[in-house]
Amino acid sequence: MKILHAASELYPLIKTGGLADVLGSLPFAQKAQGHDVRVILPYYRHVRDVLPDAALVAVRDTFGGSVQIRYADYRGLGLYLIDAPHLYDRPGNPYHNEHYFDYADNVIRFAILGWAAAAVATGLDGLWGRADVLHAHDWQAGLAPAYLNAWNAYIKSVFTIHNIAYQGMFQSKHLGEIGLPWEMFHVDGVEFHGQISFLKAGLFYAGHVTTVSPTYADEITREPAGGGLSGLLDTRRQQGRLSGVLNGVDDAVWNPQTDAALPKPFHPKAMQGKKAGKKALQQFFALNADEKALLTVMVSRLTPQKGADFLLESLHEKLPANPDLQFVLLGSGAPELEQAFVRLAEQYPQQVGVYIGYNEELAHQLVGGGDVILIPSRFEPCGLTQLYGLKYGTLPLVRRTGGLADTVVQTDEVTLKNKTATGFVFDEPTAGALGGALENALSLWRKPRAWPAVRRQAMAQDFGWHKAAESYDACYRSLRG
Ligand code: ADP
Ligand code: GLC
């Protein structure tokens, strides 16, 4: 099958979150299954720096100005790059400027992504021909199925929701600027509360909708998780056109046996490297160099989604009561949360380390050196860091929601006995409930034989991408063009 993915991020070329990790691995897993897979991506400044010599495929005059479609081979994966410097040649983050203001022309920037994806899927590159499936990801690529529909192009399309909280909403007046017919500005179309929603366009026009875990697929058919779109999603489910496909972990990037960011590699039968990693972290953050302390870590965007506010509240209670509890954060996002964590570290310098910013290498070191990884999300479509934690023997402590609920098994008497426990799970998004899970972790930690047993179980879990690739394959085959 010829598969074209359309997305706004791809690790390691451009990344703000898990979407990039998915696009950096799923296409390779599909190639390994024998498919002909390509990805279309904006030619952001940073992508151009890494791939300066992409070959010209076609030039088009569009509603967004003159656009060149280029092609480059990237580590064996075919990439179409949308070359439009007036839209994409900007530093840093793909969505907003350095003051966190969304770019005013995002409506055009990402309409062009949808348009170009539909154009390539319908044969813009004569050498590749038409795609069998156009697979668009998140709101940034949400218009791709709408263009296919507007052009009466019978190409199979799939739209994957990575996060329904970001809906790509723009004023209705822009419809005339993005080359879609006004008939589409309708409740059965791209209209949502009087505006254009790129996400809704994807949900409405794609042949099939997926999201990144079975539990999230269920949650979004109800409010509040459905972000106002639960009705449409529930209809899709009843039509058999909504499913959840759990993300995987890229073994080439996240593997404690080969991870160059760690001071020393490790695997389930030789865990000394993990000790070395913990020691190095305690040293780096100037914490008590105590191997008996429980080192909890968090690697996260700091937004309300991630539960960092009630985590702070819980830490203020648990840190003074448990001198053997440590916490290290790598994160960035809301300035008030960033500052609150910096103050926490000032208050408990021997127990808390905080690094505000984005740092890929340090992320690996936290996942490698920690004992527990904290993901107290209010909602979590899939979540990847708990999967990385499992693989590195860093037990996830998570809220029971979305993909977290699907991937972590609570440690209790029953799961200890039947050897299925892999982490710690709590229900309510409150400091109290999170504190209870921390107590559960501390109590297991103080049992020197039980902890390594649960850790072994965690490390034995298989979240390889091959499974997701097979599920998508079945989904594509069931579709009609
Ligand atoms: P989301 O996509 O909602 O942010 P995920 O858990 O799916 O959540 O993916 C987050 C990805 O971003 C992971 O690869 C994680 O390691 C990475 N990440 C998040 N914050 C940082 C940071 N400050 N520095 C480095 N990597 C980060
Ligand atoms: C989104 C979600 C996250 C998911 C990621 C990749 O950013 O917030 O839960 O893991 O996409 O699918």
The answer on 297 and 176 residing in a single domain is no
Distance CA 52, CA 72 (A): 9
> Look-up: residue for tokens 């156009």?
134
Is residue 262 assigned to a domain?
A: no
For ligand 2, what atom is nearest to the CA of residue 162?
A: 11
Distance CA 435, CA 431 (A): 6
For ligand 1, what atom is nearest to the CA of residue 330?
A: 23
Residue 92 pLDDT level (bands cut at 50, 70, 90): confident
Task: Give the distance (Å) from ligand 2 centre to CA of residue 70.
Answer: 28
Express each pLDDT in 401-421 by its tens digit.
999 999 999 999 999 999 999
What residues line ligand 2, using a CB cutoff of 6 Å?
A: 17-19, 22, 162-163, 212, 247, 380-384, 403
Express each pLDDT in 48-82 by its tens digit.
999 999 999 999 999 999 999 999 999 999 999 99
Return the structure tokens found at 201. Answer: 């366009």
The answer on 431 and 287 residing in a single domain is yes
Beta bridge partners of 356: 331
Using the CB atoms, write b or e for 403-416: b if 16+ within 10 Å.
bbbbbbbbbeeebb
Distance CA 304, CA 400 (A): 16
Beta-carbon contacts of 167 under 8 Å, excluding residues fewer than 6 positions away, are 139, 192, 197, 198, 199, 200, 227, 229
Return the structure tokens found at 33. Answer: 């299954």
Is residue 386 assigned to a domain?
A: yes
Express each pLDDT in 102-157 by its tens digit.
999 999 999 999 999 999 999 999 999 999 999 999 999 999 999 999 999 999 99
For ligand 2, what atom is nearest to the CA of residue 21?
A: 6
**What share of the chain has pLDDT > 70, as a percent?**
100
Residue 419 is part of which domain span?
Answer: 272-459
The answer on 304 and 324 residing in a single domain is yes
Q: Is 402 in the pocket of ligand 1 (CB under 6 A)?
A: no
Distance CA 329, CA 323 (A): 18
Q: CATH number for the domain including 199?
A: 3.40.50.2000
Q: Where are the beta strands (DSSP E) in 358-460?
A: 372-375, 395-399, 424-426
Q: Name the residue among 364, 377, 300, 365 with its Cα closest to residue 338.
A: 300
What is the edge-to-edge ordering of all strands in the sheet holding 195-197?
Answer: 169-171, 195-197, 191-192
Please say whether the dihedral angle defined by the alpha carbons of residues 358, 216, 204 and 31, taken in this order, is positive or negative: positive
In this prediction the pTM is: 0.96
Express each pLDDT in 77-86 by its tens digit.
999 999 999 9
Of 25, 299, 390, the one to substitute when testing ligand 1's pocket (max ligand atoms within 8 A of C-beta) is 299
Is residue 54 assigned to a domain?
A: yes
The pLDDT of 87-92, averaged and rounded, is 94
Is residue 276 assigned to a domain?
A: yes
Distance CA 271, CA 423 (A): 18
Residue 98 pLDDT level (bands cut at 50, 70, 90): confident
Predicted confidence at residue 481, as pLDDT, reads: 63
> Has 15 been labeled as part of a binding site?
yes
Is residue 267 assigned to a domain?
A: no
Taking CA atoms, 32 is separated from 7, 65, 473, in Å, by 20, 37, 12
Q: Name the residue among 27, 4, 6 with its Cα closest to residue 469.
A: 27
The answer on 337 and 228 residing in a single domain is no
The answer on 292 and 191 residing in a single domain is no
Is residue 257 assigned to a domain?
A: no
The answer on 177 and 99 residing in a single domain is yes
The answer on 287 and 223 residing in a single domain is no
Task: Give the distance (Å) from ligand 2 centre to CA of residue 295.
Answer: 25
- Taking CA atoms only, the protein residue closest to ligand 1 atom 19 is 300
The answer on 299 and 219 residing in a single domain is no
Distance CA 229, CA 223 (A): 8
Q: How many domains does the chain fold into? A: 2
Q: Is 354 in the pocket of ligand 1 (CB under 6 A)?
A: no
Express each pLDDT in 198-226 by its tens digit.
999 999 999 999 999 999 999 999 999 99
The answer on 278 and 244 residing in a single domain is no
The pLDDT of 435-459, averaged and rounded, is 97
The answer on 218 and 299 residing in a single domain is no
- Taking CA atoms only, the protein residue closest to ligand 1 atom 13 is 18
What is the average pLDDT value for the chain, to the nearest integer?
97
The answer on 336 and 243 residing in a single domain is no
Is residue 263 assigned to a domain?
A: no
Hey, is 60 helix, strand or coil? strand
Is residue 265 assigned to a domain?
A: no
The answer on 25 and 92 residing in a single domain is yes
